[in-house]
Structure 1
Amino acid sequence: MKVVAVLYPDEQPDEHPDVLASAARGLDLGDDLRQAGHELVTTSETGEALDAELADAEVLITTPFWPVYLDRARIEKAPGLKLVITAGVGSDHVESDAATEHGITVTEVTGSNVVSVAEHNVLQILALVRNFVPAHEQVRQGRWDVADASQEAHDLEGKTVGIVGLGAIGARTALRLKGFDVRILYYARHRRSPAEEEILGVRYARLDDLVRESDVVCAALPLQQGSTALFDADRIGQMKPGAWLVNTARGAIVDTDALRDAVGSGRLGGYAGDVWYPQPAPEDHPWRTMPRNAMTVHYSGMTIEAQRRIAAGVREILDAHLAGDPPPEDYVVAAPGD
């Protein structure tokens, strides 16, 4: 069996001994697979070289979103492919309908990044509300202007935080925000039970009401039909003047130009997140240089601890496949016959 793992490039693996999700480390799967008589190919290639490797592959392992986009055309070039494993969470880079039509099961390591992304949400909320980035830049520049730094710095306590999407990540984010004495609203397709709402400290609101009432809006929902450009010019225009927007979900949930205009004009107080559209973000992406941003590269779900959970989950899915068993049900995104 041939396994192709398309993972992050790492030009200095000796300096990153704990990074498992790189092509250099291959999630540390190589020795076990080779000892069992299988072939593991690790790469960061995305073009024809990858197609050549996939032509006779049975399993594809790929990090979320990038570098691989597994569309119908690429699937049709890989007739022996039976299993796709997202090394993380979020499989919108895989055209699942085309995959299942060709007998391919699509899986991901459910829950592996929940803690990591929830913590990143809180980090970026605080970075915006406390005006951390401009204050830090003063240190780098050798400046000391407290008035300039504090002009846009606020307490989080007493603010209203709206969470759009209350799945595992949104719920963990809410739990971590409870200690800040904030009012938390949430919108989701499926409302939580009263007991769950009490535990999480949240109150349900319709999306438009949440957007109008929140000082901070945090997007924590998957990219799917109906969520692309969910935050377009009209919805951003409904937000409170000076409100902050945080997005660690998917870049395409927010309209790129509408956001740039709103932040640039001061209509929004700032924007933070680690997801971009497209990814990796080109050097001239407008979010890189717009004011009041606290953007990072897409690493919130790739802490060292998350990578260990991811590697363990990928190994569990692979072991089931090698034994001729279906993958654990909670890891399955789509399967033939669904």
Structure 2
Amino acid sequence: MSARRTVLAIVPPHVGGRASGAALASLFPGDARVTVVESADEDPTALRAAHVLVTALAPVTARHLAAAEHLELVQCASHGYDYVDVAAARARGVTVCTIGSTGAEAQNVAEQTFALMLALAKQLVPAHTALTQADWALPRLTRSLTELSGKTLGIVGLGGIGQQVARRAVAFGMTVLYTARRRVPAETEDRFAARYVPLDELLAASDYVTLHTPLTEETRHLLDARRLALLKPTAFVVNTARGALIDQDALADALERGALAGAGLDVFDPEPPTQSLRLLKAPNVVLSPHVGGVTRETVVRIGAAAVHNATAFLAGASPRDVVT
């Protein structure tokens, strides 16, 4: 790697800041010149000099791309890329990549999805709260407790994460439906016992719906008021992908009216959410602060995958998971 090939690693405080950035930088070869910042605005000189920009959920706007005179690659340390202005990158001839095919986050996001589903099915949050208040809530909770076995799970997006969710759903004895922009090959459907149906049909038939699709202009508010109304009143919605995939006000409306049984959310729009977000006080919700991809094990895999792709690019190899 030429000494002229410089890297800017952007790791904001909410995903570890400088400490995590230093760990990320240490994974690059010794001849790489790596600068760690917490936002793309922090060091204009480093931004201007960078050939590669590695971003961990930090926004990369058209203004940043215009200022980065030597930039060739934006490497997202995530499966998603909604925080990068992909159109501006394309216009400037800058490649944008994710780590989607590596599966670095897939295991833990799938586990987080099931943690939320189980918490909803078993009413773990109200059960815990009741006991801490000396309320033996068994008679009351019995009416709302349910099982995953025998239920239908609708998966929106059957990529690496969606497939891991499907694998676990089969182990729980669930029927798996999926929808996606492109249908997966028949052998993949067979491997994960997943049947393709259009989105509206999936929503109407599912007891649980879980989202595992990128956030784009086409998928923003994918679950809007009309589509949420297609769900059974006994159904649950789980989102561990991106908050803006759901119209949050429409979801709050449905929960407050009793038109849905509950929701499990690990992601919000914006993040962190403001205290005015109605979902924070909506009935029968289980919330977590975007922790689906940030276990100790996952963070190491994500960093290694992002660095490997960026290093290969600088060495002249074709990168994986190209978005642009």
Q: TM-score, normalised by structure 1?
A: 0.86
Q: Structure 1 residues 114-123 or 189-198, which shifts more? A: 189-198
Task: Identify the residue that residue 132 of structure 1 maps to in structure 2.
Answer: 124
Partner Cα separation in structure 2 for residue 8 and residue 84 of structure 1? 16
1:73 maps onto 2:63 in alignment:
yes
Q: How has the CA–CA distance of structure 1 residues 286 and 41 changed in structure 2, closer, same or farther, with 3 Å as cutoff? A: farther
Q: Which whole-Å CA distance do the structure 2 matches of 1:267 and 1:151 have between them?
A: 17
Q: What's the secondary structure of 1:73's corresponding residue?
A: helix
Q: Which residue of 2 aligns with 1:6?
A: 10
Instruction: Report the AA paired with residue 73 of structure 2.
Output: L
The Cα offsets for residues 289-320 of structure 1, whole Å up to 9 and x where unpaired, read as: 22211111112012222111112112212322
State how far apart, in whole Å, the 2-side matches of 1:277 and 1:308 are. Answer: 26
Question: Of residues 59, 62, 71 in structure 1, which corresponds to 2:55?
Answer: 62
Q: 1:311 to 1:158 in 2, by over 3 A?
A: same
Cα drift, residue 142 of structure 1 = 3.9
Distance 1:260 1:180 in 2: 29
Q: Which residue of 2 aligns with 1:95?
A: 85
Q: For the structure 1 residues 322 and 162, does the alpha-carbon distance in structure 2 shift closer, same or farther, using more than 3 Å as the test?
A: closer
Change (3 A) 1:105 1:245: same
1:50 and 1:148 mapped to 2: Cα distance? 57
- Which SS does the other structure have where 2:177 is aligned? strand
Query: What letter matches 1:28 in structure 2?
Result: A
* Partner Cα separation in structure 2 for residue 92 and residue 50 of structure 1: 23
Farther off after superposition, 263-272 or 50-59: 50-59
For 1:299, the aligned partner's letter is V
TM superposition shift of 1:51: 4.7
Summarize the Cα distance change of 1:208–1:75 in structure 2 as closer, same or farther, 3 Å threshold: same
1:28 and 2:23 correspond: yes
In the aligned structure 2, how far is the partner of 1:22 from the partner of 1:53? 17
Give aligned pairs, total.
318
Q: Please report how far the alpha carbon of residue 30 of structure 1 lies from its aligned counterpart in structure 2 after TM superposition.
A: 3.7
Structure 2: where are the runs of 5+ without partners?
none
Which residue is 1:295 aligned to? 287
Residues 9 and 24 of structure 1 are in contact (CA less than 8 Å); yes or no, is this contact kept in structure 2?
no
Match of 2:247 among 255, 269, 277: 255
Aligned to 1:326: 317
Match for residue 235 of structure 2 among 243, 246, 249:
243
Q: CA deviation at 1:322?
A: 4.0
Return the TM-score normalized by structure 2: 0.90
Q: Partner of 1:161 in structure 2?
A: 153
In the alignment, residue 55 of structure 2 is paired with which amino acid?
A: T
* 1:191 corresponds to which of 165, 170, 183: 183
The CA RMSD over aligned residues, in Å, is 2.2
1:43 offset after TM fit, Å? 2.6
What percentage of aligned pairs have identical amino acids? 35
Q: Contact 1:23/1:44 (CA < 8 Å) preserved in 2? A: yes
2:44 matched to 1:44? Answer: no
The answer as to 2:220 corresponding to 1:228 is: yes
Task: Tell which deviates more after alignment, 276-285 or 48-57.
Answer: 48-57
Tell me the SS of whatever aligns to 1:25.
helix
Letter in 2 for 1:3: V
> Where does the alignment leave 5 or more consecutive residues of structure 1 unmatched?
11-18
**C-alpha spacing 1:260/1:317, structure 2 compared with 1 (3 Å):** same
